[in-house]
A and B are shown apart, each in its own frame.
Chain A
Amino acid sequence: MKHIKVIQKPCINNSKESGCGECQASCQSACKTSCTVANQTCKKEEK
């Protein structure tokens, strides 16, 4: 494609089967005032 470049393929639907709950609770990582969930990584993928 000339005008459009795919930077990231669809990545939300794919992960819907998980939900193991082993990942970090968002407010524990730094902020304690304003959570951002999207910058948490998935523990399953880390393994």
Chain B
Amino acid sequence: MLHTFNVNNMYLVLDVESGALHSVDKMAYDIIKADNEGKSPYDLPYEKSDIDEVLKEINELKEMGALDTPMPDMPDISESDGIIKAMCLHIAHDCNLRCKYCFAETGEYRGGRMLMSEEVGKASLDFLVKHSGNRHNLEVDLFGGEPLVNFDVVKAIVDYGRELEKKHNKNINFTITTNGVALDDEKIDYINREMYNVVISIDGRREVHDMLRKTPNGKGSFDIIVPNAKKLIERRGDKEYYIRGTFTSKNLDFVNDVKELEGLGFERISIEPVVLPDEDELALRTEHLERIFAEYESLTNYLSEKRRNGKHIVFFHFMLDMGHGPCLKKRIKGCGAGVEYVAVTPQGDIYPCHQFVGETDYRMGSVVTGELNRDIQNNFARCNILTKEECKECWAKYFCSGGCAANAYKYNGSIYKPHKVTCELLKKRTECGAALYAESRTEE
């Protein structure tokens, strides 16, 4: 399978099954495209000798195994080995903001406001270590609602994790996802010392952020959060972080939000499509796609210009280091939700991931009682790019890895049916990421 695409006048050809990427001139692009669509290249308005020259190069690539390659042999992943290595702890089903697009319903997740106790937190880590088999690197994301409203429990969990690391020879990478409202000096220093990664939510421009990320009394939160986030990042050294925003139908010009965040001094940025049902006025729908594609292209342009001027801005969804990507097994399996990644509620209930929390059909166990539904684990393991109809034929399958199961379930009622708009966005971002990669490689 081949995918031909063009981003900002860069012509690229991806050989899907091998992952090889080629940058081509316009003529070669037209010829490869025609050939791929079963049309004769000789019908194109080029000289026969030129066409022959290109076809010769195409053949060379085929002989090298870098074009039109067959599907690789697939590792068997039809059953989960039962190992769980990553956990999302819902430290608080409560929040000190009332954001309008919150998938957690401002913290409640359909279950009412509640904080995780120290006991449940510790039981979660015990459960994780117990199910982690021979994995050395484990991950625990301290999530919510808003985890900082239950900060003493955060600290108790991390302390306990450090004990378990020594006892069981594991490495636990703690990460925290916060809205930044409650950050103070003590919490900032703690997070910078203990957290492998920190994700702080800011949507970008003040008016965009304040329109949706409001305090309980209806005021904007930009002026509270930005100084806190700046302080944290200034003191963070070169440890990982992301400033994470959401774009909705109200800010399709989100390149301006990236620019705003960059202007505030942030260099690791993620601005992501909102997940909301089509009826919602903020939702992203098919009719927005063209506009968003143009915006992604303009962002590609902007980032590449920055890079040429010596400033490296990381945009999470464009990061694509093709030569050092994950192994085939991971590319097939995808996010690992319900298989090697699970979420735990304040009560200790286990769900396939943070976005399934509250979908009681998907409750898969409890860290308190220790039960784990292996059938659900296997169902998720079996749902992958080799079994999903749309994904099998998709050129982006090894980059996307089958998309977000929660998304599929929420929009289409089945984890097997990817959400079309999400797929289109993913594909466009992959093209943009590949173009940026090609450009940086060409300059090297």
The answer to whether A and B interact is yes
Asked whether B326 is an interface residue with its Cβ less than 8 Å from the other chain, the reply is yes
Q: B288 → chain A, closest Cβ, in Å?
A: 15
Total contacting residues, chain B, CB less than 8 A: 90
Q: Looking at A21, A31, A43, which has the most chain B CB atoms within 10 Å of its CB?
A: A21
CA distance A11 to B21 in the complex (A): 9
Asked whether B66 is an interface residue with its Cβ less than 8 Å from the other chain, the reply is yes
User: When the two chains form their complex, are residues B422 and A34 in contact, meaning their CB atoms are under 8 A apart?
Assistant: yes
Please name all residues of chain A whose beta carbon is closer than 8 Å to the beta carbon of B73 when the two chains form the complex: 16
Contact A10:B18 (CB < 8 A) given known A18-B329, A21-B85, A35-B335:
yes
User: When the two chains form their complex, are residues B329 and A8 in contact, meaning their CB atoms are under 8 A apart?
Assistant: no
Interface of B is mostly: mixed
- Contact partner of A3 (CB less than 8 A), chosen from B28, B65, B316, B426, is B28
Please name all residues of chain A whose beta carbon is closer than 8 Å to the beta carbon of B355 when the two chains form the complex: 32-33
User: When the two chains form their complex, are residues B335 and A38 in contact, meaning their CB atoms are under 8 A apart?
Assistant: no
- Contact partner of B316 (CB less than 8 A), chosen from A1, A23, A39, is A39
CA distance A11 to B28 in the complex (A): 23
Q: B293 → chain A, closest Cβ, in Å?
A: 16
Please name all residues of chain B whose beta carbon is closer than 8 Å to the beta carbon of A34 when the two chains form the complex: 272-273, 275, 317, 403-404, 407, 422, 425-426
- Contact partner of A7 (CB less than 8 A), chosen from B88, B244, B441, is B441
Query: What 1/0 flags go to A7-37 for Cβ under 8 Å of B?
Result: 1111111011111111111111111111111
User: When the two chains form their complex, are residues B137 and A22 in contact, meaning their CB atoms are under 8 A apart?
Assistant: yes
14 more A-B residue pairs beyond the given contacts A25-B86, A26-B335, A32-B177, with a C-beta to C-beta distance below 8 A? A3-B57, A5-B24, A7-B437, A10-B19, A15-B325, A21-B85, A27-B353, A28-B197, A29-B175, A31-B272, A32-B199, A37-B331, A38-B325, A38-B399
Total contacting residues, chain A, CB less than 8 A: 44
User: When the two chains form their complex, are residues A37 and B22 in contact, meaning their CB atoms are under 8 A apart?
Assistant: no
User: When the two chains form their complex, are residues A11 and B273 in contact, meaning their CB atoms are under 8 A apart?
Assistant: no
User: When the two chains form their complex, are residues B244 and A40 in contact, meaning their CB atoms are under 8 A apart?
Assistant: no
CA distance A28 to B104 in the complex (A): 17
Residues of A within 8 A of B (CB): 1-13, 15-45
4 tightest A-B CB contacts, nearest first:
A19-B329, A10-B18, A25-B86, A12-B19
Contact A25:B242 (CB < 8 A) given known A1-B57, A11-B19, A34-B273:
no
Q: List 20 A-B contacts (CB under 8 A).
A: A8-B322, A9-B20, A13-B328, A18-B328, A18-B329, A19-B330, A20-B327, A22-B137, A24-B173, A25-B340, A28-B175, A30-B270, A30-B316, A31-B270, A36-B316, A38-B399, A39-B319, A41-B321, A41-B326, A42-B327
CA distance A9 to B368 in the complex (A): 49
Asked whether B136 is an interface residue with its Cβ less than 8 Å from the other chain, the reply is yes
CA distance A37 to B319 in the complex (A): 10
CA distance A36 to B396 in the complex (A): 10
Interface of A is mostly: loop
Residues of B within 8 A of A (CB): 12-13, 15, 17-25, 27-28, 53-54, 57-58, 60-61, 65-66, 69, 72-73, 75, 83, 85-86, 88, 103, 135-137, 139, 141, 143, 173, 175, 177, 197, 199, 242, 244, 246, 270, 272-273, 275, 316-317, 319-331, 334-337, 340-341, 353-355, 398-401, 403-404, 407, 422, 425-426, 429-430, 433, 437-438, 441-442
CA distance A7 to B58 in the complex (A): 15
Contact A11:B323 (CB < 8 A) given known A21-B83, A31-B316, A32-B177:
yes
CA distance A32 to B242 in the complex (A): 12
CA distance A43 to B438 in the complex (A): 23
Please name all residues of chain A whose beta carbon is closer than 8 Å to the beta carbon of B433 when the two chains form the complex: 38-39
Q: Looking at A6, A27, A42, A44, which has the most chain B CB atoms within 10 Å of its CB?
A: A27
